[in-house]
Chain A
């Protein structure tokens, strides 16, 4: 089957006054139609730069140094600004962390949602025959807003954070999109509201057969929505695969360390086992495996050689010389690092 979105050996540099940040290093990811991929990682791991690059809104100064991102087989770097206009909001749409920033405080929801619907219609999309207002109401119903009339007549400040995020999701669905990118969609919300939004996203995925790429620093939020997971560390994807398998049985020491860093809400109160050390500076990232200076399993080879990708069974792939389970990789296929 052809991937809807493919990230192939993609590396990105961002020049800064202090030097060149090597923000993404040989990223391989694939999203098939109907797939839900959650990308989890801590601040500075490159997850936001990666998804923004997918949408063609990466940092202007960023320079691709290897590989490519293709959407339906077409390299996105070859897209013209006109072609991007046709893709953004329609083929690919995006929701963000802070819904208030993305709503105009001076216009009602009716007006803002109506504008989006009309724009899609002018471009000859949106096959719905409903009048704009009715279509807006339909979209709000789809995101399970109970009092549609009141919300349509409201200004953003009159809505709660959870309601605003529902409105933004409704806007993102107006196309409807082939791919929805969700950038920390619940991070700014309270736990009970967060649980509702995650349930809504999960429900939309099932009902509309949406393809979703969601990024979050919150493993729990990712697990609630995504079937597949990719774990990023310092600009690299260290592990990916079926979300439940990866979280139940992590193969990469960083994934295991991340999970051991999370206190549990149930079960025995076990002592935490934090990962020692700090996130590296990406101007001069560690050689070989970027995690090796903090890794309890690191050996001499880890500092020297970029780890090969090892299949641990199913679709669980880990980039590690000494994975926590599965066969240790043969030295062949491993390349010398240029760092």
Chain B
């Protein structure tokens, strides 16, 4: 089966004055359609930079990105804009990802306004559908972000990201700002959504247990480089690298018998 997303030898160097910093160093990855790839690493490992490179929010210093065989880095202007509907991202902090002056309805209407030529009534219908998918009442379309809890806001961000039925959903620490019970609701929901709509996820987190729960395959990153990659079972059962072992051993245990 051919990969939905394939990134080869991605490198990103940030230059400030005379000093340069290699945030991502020769990272390659691929995800097959309908699969979840988890990237786990500590702060500064480069995992969020990888997400931004793949979304083309940042331009890589070198390397190649292909989406369904098409060269993503060669796209410009209108062609890139059209491609964006197929790739969406959800960020860590839902509080800063929604415009405080827009209603939830306006936030959810935006992808349709930008990417489609649907009329007002049709967009309204779509918004109600989206709210239903993320298990929020339709009345929420009249609310403002400050009236919602963190978990509810993150559901809205997810709803907005899936509005155009993207082929790839990049989730960059989507539950890290949330309480554990809310995190559980969101990851159970994300898993259900992924199965229901056969979505492809690139899921980024520092939380090993969450990565293990959601991912089919895992990539472990440290200092911009891939330490180890493999199936979730292989990584967690038989990590081959010392760093992966240390990471797994450091995760606090919560289940006792």
Contacts and interface: CB of A to CB of B under 8 A. Distances in A.
Nearest to B255: A264
A267 B254 CA distance: 12
Interface in B189-231: 206, 208-210, 212-213
Interface string A254-265: 000111111111
Choose among B151, B250, B252 the residue with the greatest number of A CB atoms under 10 Å from its CB. Answer: B252
A258 B206 contact: no
Interface string A172-216: 000000000000000000111011001000000000000000000
Interface in A111-154: none
A279 B181 CA distance: 10
Nearest to B243: A192
B252 A257 contact: no
A21 to B, nearest CB: 16
A224 interface: yes
Contact of A220 (B184, B212, B213, B253): B253
B25 to A, nearest CB: 19
Given A264-B255, A272-B213, A194 B250 contact: yes
Interface string B234-257: 001000000000111111111111
A247 interface: yes
Interface string A225-259: 00000000000000000001001100000000111
A19 to B, nearest CB: 16
B183 to A, nearest CB: 7
Majority SS at the chain B contact face: helix
B212 A265 contact: yes
A263 B208 CA distance: 9
B180 interface: yes
B151 A278 contact: yes
Contacts of A98: none
Given A195-B252, A223-B254, A266-B236, A258 B247 contact: no
Given A191-B250, A263-B213, A265-B236, A272 B208 contact: no
Contacts, number: 105
B184 A274 contact: yes
B179 A259 contact: no
A42 interface: yes
Contacts of A278: 149, 151-152
Contacts of A257: 181
B184 A261 contact: yes
Given A247-B254, A261-B180, A269-B212, A192 B247 contact: yes
A271 interface: yes
A263 B212 contact: yes
Interface of B: 42-43, 149, 151-152, 179-185, 187-188, 206, 208-210, 212-213, 236, 246-257
21 contacts: A42-B182, A43-B179, A190-B206, A194-B250, A195-B251, A195-B252, A217-B180, A221-B252, A223-B256, A247-B256, A248-B256, A260-B184, A265-B251, A266-B253, A267-B255, A269-B213, A272-B184, A272-B188, A272-B213, A274-B185, A275-B185
Kindly list the 6 A-B residue pairs having the minimum CB-CB distance in the complex, ordered from nearest.
A220-B252, A261-B184, A195-B250, A263-B213, A274-B184, A190-B42
